[in-house]
């Protein structure tokens, strides 16, 4: 799982924020076949936190996908990436 703390400077309302977050999360889902959810800052216009989760048979593949997901978020014009936190889990964890 990877959590992204985001700033959305161009938003002046929750409606605008929801549009930006929805467009970003749909882009992540369709590009990488991952699960995405907004997990924090629900009531703030210019902040959001999203979590992205994926499952893979090989840790190498999972790390590669998550790296590409992070690059995708970094390049998204409407948001500024404040921080990213990766958490990998194995079946025996």
- Measured CA to CA, the distance from residue 67 to residue 20 in angstroms comes to 21
The pLDDT tens digits for 49-88 are 999 999 988 889 999 999 999 999 999 999 999 999 998 8
Model-level pTM?
A: 0.91
pLDDT exceeds 90 at position 93: no
pLDDT at position 32 over 70? yes
Domains of the chain, residue spans: 2-86
The listed CATH number (3.20.20.70, 3.30.70.1120, 3.10.580.10, 3.40.640.10) that belongs to domain 2-86: 3.30.70.1120
Cβ neighbourhood burial of 1 (10 Å; 0-12, 13-18, 19+):
middle
Q: In percent, how much of the chain has pLDDT > 70?
A: 98
Instruction: Give one DSSP letter per residue of the chain, joined into a string.
Output: -EEEEEE-TT-SSHHHHHHHHHHHHHHHHHHH--EEEEEE-TT-TTEEEEEEE---SSHHHHHHHHHHHHHHHHH-TT-EEEEEEE----TT-
């Amino acid at each position: 799982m990877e959590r992204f703390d985001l700033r959305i400077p161009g938003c002046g309302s929750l409606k605008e924020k929801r549009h930006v977050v929805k467009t970003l999360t749909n882009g992540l889902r369709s590009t990488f076949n991952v699960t995405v959810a907004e997990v924090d800052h629900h009531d703030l216009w210019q902040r959001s936190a999203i979590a992205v989760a994926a499952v893979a048979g090989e840790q190498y593949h999972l790390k590669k996908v998550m790296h590409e997901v992070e690059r995708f978020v970094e390049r998204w014009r409407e948001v500024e990436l404040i921080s990213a936190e990766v958490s990998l889990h194995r079946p025996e964890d």
